Amino acid sequence: MTFDILTLFPAMFASPMSESILGKAVDRGLISVHAHNLRDWAAGRHQVTDDAPYGGGDGMVMKVEPVVGALRDLRAAAPGAQTVLLTPQGRTFTQREAAHLAKQSGLIFVCGRYEGYDERIRAFVDVEYSIGDFILTGGELAAMVMIDAIARLIPGVLGCEGSAAGDSFSDGLLEYPQYTRPAEFEGLKVPEVLLSGNHGAIARWRRQAQLERTARRRPDLLADAPLSDEDRRYLAELAAGKDGG
């Protein structure tokens, strides 16, 4: 997959996209990441990309011409790419959205700055995303977060293909607790079932641990999670135990 990023600060992407799992994925040709300087599409000697808002107000607004000019050129080079506008007004980016975007042939991210975008830019993008209900100084960090979440779902990027399948939110629930050696540390022990070698019992324990942790920490997720009858019975028992306690 190809990730193209339209930004005023392309150097911000050099280190994050060349380290760890993403860097290895780039080296192996599984993904490619290109940060493009928006000023290359701005007119005039000073390559201005912002201007004062019509009607007055604080701050500056990103101009429509350089953004649209850049998008047209990038789409011509990657006709199947989907264009993503990063904005606090967009839909919330989730694991489900990451899985959907991981199936695309390419993505073009538009990173905002200043007070916001000229509204007409929205007519030239495919989808708008926000990574949460808070404000950043620009869309670059949001783009990095999304690229990381999407890239790790592309086949071959993770060393273990089953790793992504067991992540929190991959099946609508939080992940079950994980342990490794030693079996005991300062009186804190690994659950006996995980040392038993009984794969059926381990799978059952992990599922119940997922349900319990999600019910305790993120009960809102249960409404949309694909739950079996057994899952629902276990949740009912948890609720009954809580009410009884």
pLDDT in single tens digits along all 245 residues of the chain: 999 999 999 999 999 999 999 999 999 999 999 999 999 999 999 999 999 999 999 999 999 999 999 999 999 999 999 999 999 999 999 999 999 999 999 999 999 999 899 999 999 999 999 999 999 999 999 999 999 999 999 999 997 666 666 676 778 999 999 999 999 999 999 999 999 999 999 999 999 999 999 999 999 999 999 999 999 999 999 999 876 54
Say if residues 14 and 46 touch (Cβ distance below 8 Å). no
Is 135 marked as a binding-site residue? yes
Confidence (pLDDT) at 171: 86
Confidence (pLDDT) at 100: 97
Catalytic residues: 88, 115, 152, 167
At 76, list the tokens: 């011509």
Cβ atoms < 10 Å from Cβ of 130? 19
Angstrom distance (rounded) from CA 174 to CA 218? 8
Is 185 marked as a binding-site residue? no
Amino acid 157 reads: V
Domains along the chain? Answer: 2-151 (3.40.1280.10), 168-244 (1.10.1270.20)
Confidence (pLDDT) at 242: 73
At 93, list the tokens: 């980016």
Is 134 marked as a binding-site residue? yes
Is 101 marked as a binding-site residue? no
* pTM score: 0.89
Is 132 marked as a binding-site residue? yes
The C-alpha torsion from 200 through 206 and 210 to 212, rounded to 10°, is 90
